[in-house]
Structure 1
Amino acid sequence: MQLLRPAWAVAAAALGSLLLLLLHSHSQREGQLAAGTCEIVTLDRDGSRPRRTVARQTARCACRAGQSAGTTRAGPACVDVHIVWTRQWCEMSPCLEDEGCDLVVGQSGWTCTQPGGRIKTTTVS
């Protein structure tokens, strides 16, 4: 009986240490993105102008080699880096399926035209 108490104490200490180690490693990984994924960090909308809403979005991406942060189907995504270098924005399929994509003059962004004629313009900064 006297040997069981120290054995239980050692087992409890080992289990507690293991739990702390697992929690610490999980907290270090928290905040890291999986390779090839993106998340929206901030999204600000300004609707103070009539018939016009300005939205600014900041995304954080963990892209693989040969990829860069971009937009696919109106959401942040990792895209081939040549799209960004050549500024051929419509190659990354930035618009929704029913929208048409056109480059902005000077290739500083793209427009997505909805079937009803509404236009969404995105500029790259």
Structure 2
Amino acid sequence: MPRAFSRGSGSNLILDDRCEQPEVMFSLVHFLESFAIEEQLQAFLTVVPQLIATTPDWTRILHTRILNDEAACRLYREKLHSMNASSPHFIRQLLEENATYRLNKYTNTYNVN
């Protein structure tokens, strides 16, 4: 799991909405995106319930960046569906619905005759 999503010695995740230098947080986002997409998504989905509670703005930014990449969005939805089937969580269910909606928009956009 990318360490940026892991808990350190404290109870906070590394992303922080209170950071006064957004470029620092965006550097961290770019670092996270340097990992293989499967590893990124697995790490994100593992911590998203805690992440959304502690840093909702950066969670939204990460979620939006995933949705804006069709291949990542497709894998994201698959992983969410699998996780929700084995261990349902309302946050992950909402994210799965959102990913499905986005993928339907991709399909409708590219299949217009």
Do they fold alike, i.e. is TM over 0.5?
A: no
Hey, which of these two has a bigger chunk of helix by percent? 2
TM-score when normalising by structure 2: 0.26
**Higher Cα Rg: structure 1 or 2?**
1
**Higher normalized contact order (CA 8 Å, seq sep 6+, divided by chain length):** 2
Hey, which of these two has a bigger chunk of strand by percent? 1
